[in-house]
Structures are given as structure tokens and as C-alpha cells.
Amino acid sequence: MSNDEKEKILVADDDLTSRLILTSALKKWNYEPISVTNGKEALEILSQPDSPQIAILDWVMPEIDGIEVVKEVRSMKKEVPPYIIMLTTKTEKEDLMAGLEAGADDYICKPFDNKELWARIKVGIRTINLHRTLVKAQKALEYEALHDPLTGVLNRRGILERLEEEIERGYRKGYQICVAMFDLDHFKKINDTYGHQTGDEVLKGFVKILQNHTRPYDSIGRLGGEEFLLIVPEISESEAILILEKLLNEIRKSPIYTHNNELKITTSIGGIIINGKLNVDKVIKLVDESLYQAKERGRNQLIFHGAIEND
């Protein structure tokens, strides 16, 4: 959430006076209240992807009571679960324990003191912000674990996982997948002649060419060194050949600008079409064999093999 965006807080209470007091206080504290009059409406709002992260729920409400709302919300798989404060006239420990055990984070007894409510909401905001920070950090770690830090595309682990997913999806939905392996020709010579900084810039420039001439839902990954894998789902054999030939020519003719040189490069490509459910290791072996043939035949060319059926 951006710094200038108000925190939304759901207020669910069938009592008009209580609801007006709550919404007025929340506006005064610079929050954005969203008010409803029953548990069913509260549950509908909390079920939405962009639902408020703080909820103040009356225990006793029409349609669905607050406890049932809490139970339903806690059964949902939410990236950041909402912080729920129960409003109640119940003061017995057994009742309060039941509310907390159902999944409520806190409770406040009616009639409530505004200062106490404010303090409890602040605790909720701190808790939600901590959850948001943890989720953001987890996503960053997951991204780093699956992406190549130099080029920004998927790393070996990431592209092989994507290949497995695409094979499974293609098998279920009945479409073919093109898998192609690229190897930059004579890349060692670039490093030896111009240095590794230039070599890194060439790799990034090469990836940019691939990205500029593939679809957003195609997948590019760096297997290691100067070898890259391209996955093109939902494509015919003839279309796959046209795409790979176009990439071969674009790489051949497109200059790559480095910090002190403008370089032209070429690549060898091995490609296959898979039609069915194949083992990932087998797919990589087959496409690697195609790439090897392209390199053996003089590099700067495409070797493509037609549809490979199920194992």
C-alpha cells in the first residue's frame, strides 16, 4: 500500500448508533471505513482479493454472526490474512476465549472507549504491516531463487520448473510446445578478447533480442554460461520453425552495444516440438542433441526436429 493511500477498515455492526460512532472515529483517525450491517455482507467483502486488512466485527449480527464470519475468513488462503477485532457485549472468559479460538485476533467490549479502540487498531496495523513486509521479503527471495541475476530471466532451476509446468499443462489441454536451446557462437572468444564486462553486456543484449521477438507468455531461461532455453507453448510445428528462424536472423543482424564496442553475434539453435507428456530430462536431452548438430554443422544455424510423442 502506498504512503498516501488510506488503510481501509471494515466495520460490520447491525446497530446504527454503534456503526456511526465507529465510522466517525475511523475517519477522524484518517482511515477509510467500509461499513455493512450484517455478517453475510461482511463475509462477501472479506472474500474479495482486495478486501480490507483490518475488520471490526460485531459478535451478534443478522444473517451470519461474527464468529462464523471469522471461521470462514480463516479458512481462506490469503497472502496477508486480515486482522479481526471482535466487538461484543459478552464479558465471560469462556465467550472471549471462544472468539479468539475461532480466529479473532483481538476483542473489545461494548460500550467501548475510543482511546482503547484506537490503541487496538494501531496494534492491528503494526501486525498487518509486519505480515506485508514478510510477504514482500519472501517474494524477493523466491524471485532471486528462480532468476538469473545478470540477465533477469529464469535461471536453470526456474526454467526447468517452468518446462515441467508447461509440459503438464500442454498434456492436459492438448496443445504442442516448442522447446529450443540457444548457444552463443564463440562466446569464449568475446570474453578473451574484450573482457568479461563486455561478455556480460553481450549476454544481456542477446536476451533483450529474444524478449523483443517472443510473446509475453513464452518463457526464457539461462541454463548456464551462454546457453539459454526458450519455451513456446500452443504452437504448430510450422509456426515454431518460422519463429526460430526469425530469431536466428534477428540475432545475426542486430548489433549489441557494449561499453566500448558494437558487436555482432550469431547463435546455434536446437529445437523440437513435444506433443504429450514427456520427462523433462528427456526433453532437455533431445533438444541438446539438436543443438549439438547445429554446432557440428558449422554453427549460426537452426536444427529442428518434429513432434516428439509421449514417453
User: What single string gives the DSSP state of each residue in 185-236?
Assistant: TTHHHHHHHH-HHHHHHHHHHHHHHHHHTS-TTSEEEEEETTEEEEEEES--
Burial of 269 by CB count in 10 Å (0-12 exposed, 13-18 middle, 19+ buried)?
Answer: buried
Burial of 14 by CB count in 10 Å (0-12 exposed, 13-18 middle, 19+ buried)?
Answer: middle
Residue 110's pLDDT is 81
pTM, two decimal places: 0.74
Q: Per-residue pLDDT for the chain (311 aa), expressed as one digit of tens each?
A: 555 678 999 999 988 988 899 999 999 999 999 999 999 999 999 999 889 999 999 888 888 888 899 899 999 888 899 999 988 876 666 767 777 887 889 888 888 888 999 999 999 999 999 999 999 999 999 999 999 999 999 999 999 999 999 999 999 999 999 999 999 999 999 999 999 999 999 999 999 999 999 999 999 999 999 999 999 999 999 999 999 999 999 999 999 999 978 999 999 999 999 988 889 999 999 999 999 999 999 999 999 987 766 65
CA distance linking residue 31 with residue 11, whole number of Å:
12
How is residue 147 annotated by DSSP?
B
250 is catalytic: no
Among residues 142, 226, 234, 237, the one annotated as catalytic is 226
Cell 528462424 belongs to 245
Q: Which CATH class is domain 8-144?
A: alpha beta
H or E segment and range at residue 108: strand 106-109
CA distance linking residue 37 with residue 198, whole number of Å:
65
Q: Which residues of 187-208 are buried (b: 16+ CB within 10 A; e: fewer)?
A: beebeeebeeebbebbbebbbe
Residue 220's pLDDT is 98
Cell 544455424 belongs to 301
DSSP strand pairing (256-257 vs 262-263): antiparallel
Q: Count of CB atoms within 10 A of residue 300's CB?
A: 17
Domain residue ranges of the chain, discontinuous segments joined by +: 8-144, 156-308
Cell 482511515 belongs to 31
Assign domain 156-308 to its CATH architecture: 2-Layer Sandwich (3.30)
Q: Count of CB atoms within 10 A of residue 182's CB?
A: 28
